[in-house]
């Protein structure tokens, strides 16, 4: 996949059935220096545009409610296709219900931009996407190629998203588990330097996994980063009490996960 170093190098596919909203976002993109914008009205047209243009160096910005499918279905179709599974996805929506947004959070989306939004908010999302495509080498606190990381998440798309970000940093030794119980089995046999886990998982969730690591594992001191879309403050407080090293929201910016890894490993 081609790397991008500036917003001018991005090719944006904007999926927006409202002509007024499409014109507004297109003008904002142009003001930010984006020179290549393709506007389509449906999910099917978005996939066709990706195929026609090859996917490399592209960014897809989509509304949630499209005439032929939901934005959720669109990003899932992208993540199911090896050609487009790493294309950055930004959702633009006024939707606030957690149960509706959760699939987007789990898909490896770069950002969710809430309507109404201003150009500054859109700009932050664009730079997050550019950063995802071409991550800077700003983690020099450890020899990253020797770092052993365990990624725990029941979402395959989310695991792949995190795996790619870690690989872009030069981390080569990455083990994956689909839930806390699988992670426990791996931790009993395998030495790791860092655990990155989701919160909501079947069998054993992120809080229970963190408690196990801190109280029963022979690797009790390993840093644990939680990357989650959980919004319940009570549950998040319980995770902090369990001994998690840091918490990062889903969707997250690539720079955020790099900073959290650096801080956790430095500590």
The domains of the chain are located at: 7-133, 144-266
- pLDDT of the residue at 86: 82
Number of C-beta neighbours around residue 56 at 10 A: 15
- pLDDT of the residue at 40: 96
Distance separating alpha carbons of residues 226 and 70, to the nearest angstrom: 28
CB 102 within 8 A of CB 249: no
CATH 3.40.50.2300 fits 7-133, yes or no: yes
Rg of the chain over all Cα atoms, to the nearest angstrom: 19
What does the pLDDT look like over 85-128, one tens digit per residue?
A: 888 899 999 988 878 888 888 777 888 898 888 898 898 888 88
Cβ-count burial 245-267 (b if 16+ within 10 Å, e if not): bbbbebbbbbebbbebbbebbee
- pLDDT of the residue at 245: 87
* Local confidence band at 15 (pLDDT 50, 70, 90 cut-offs): very high
CATH class for the region spanning 144-266: alpha beta
* Local confidence band at 141 (pLDDT 50, 70, 90 cut-offs): very low
Helix axes 119-133 and 19-31, enclosed angle (nearest 10) = 70
Distance separating alpha carbons of residues 150 and 147, to the nearest angstrom: 10
What does the pLDDT look like over 213-262, one tens digit per residue?
A: 999 999 999 999 998 877 778 888 888 888 888 888 887 777 777 777 77
Q: Is 24 exposed, middle or buried (0-12, 13-18, 19+ CB in 10 A)?
A: middle
In eight-state DSSP terms, residue 87 is S
- pLDDT of the residue at 213: 95
Answer whether residue 73 shows pLDDT above 70.
Answer: yes
Strands 111-114 and 58-63, bridge-based pairing: unpaired
Helices (H), 134-216: 156-168, 180-189, 206-215
Mean pLDDT of the chain: 85
In eight-state DSSP terms, residue 218 is T
Answer whether residue 4 shows pLDDT above 50.
Answer: no
- pLDDT of the residue at 124: 86
What does the pLDDT look like over 34-61, one tens digit per residue?
A: 989 999 999 999 999 998 876 566 899 9
Instruction: Say if 7-133 and 144-266 have the same CATH topology.
Output: yes
């Amino acid at each position: 996949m081609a790397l991008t170093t500036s917003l001018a190098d991005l090719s944006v596919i904007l999926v927006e059935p409202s002509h007024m909203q499409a014109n507004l976002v297109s003008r904002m993109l142009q003001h930010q220096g984006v020179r290549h914008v393709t506007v389509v009205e449906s999910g099917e047209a978005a996939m066709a545009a990706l195929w026609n243009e090859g996917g490399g160096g592209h960014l897809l910005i989509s509304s949630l409610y499209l005439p032929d499918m939901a934005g959720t279905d669109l990003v899932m179709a992208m993540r199911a296709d090896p050609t487009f599974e790493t294309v950055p996805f930004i959702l633009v929506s006024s939707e606030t219900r957690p149960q509706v947004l959760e699939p987007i959070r789990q898909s490896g989306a770069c950002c969710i931009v809430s309507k109404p939004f201003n150009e500054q908010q859109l700009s932050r999302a664009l730079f997050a996407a550019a950063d995802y495509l071409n991550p800077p080498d700003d983690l020099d606190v450890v020899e990253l190629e020797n770092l052993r990381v365990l990624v725990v998440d029941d979402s395959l798309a989310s695991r792949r998203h995190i795996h790619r970000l870690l690989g872009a940093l030069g981390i080569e030794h990455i083990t994956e588990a689909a839930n806390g119980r699988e992670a426990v089995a791996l931790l009993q046999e395998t030495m790791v330097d860092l655990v990155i886990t989701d919160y909501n998982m079947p069998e054993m969730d992120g809080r229970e996994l963190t408690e196990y690591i801190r109280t029963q594992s022979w690797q009790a001191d390993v840093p644990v980063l939680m990357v989650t879309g959980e919004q319940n403050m009570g549950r998040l407080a319980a995770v902090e009490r369990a001994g998690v090293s840091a918490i990062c929201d889903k969707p997250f910016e690539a720079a955020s996960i790099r900073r959290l890894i650096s801080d956790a490993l430095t500590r």
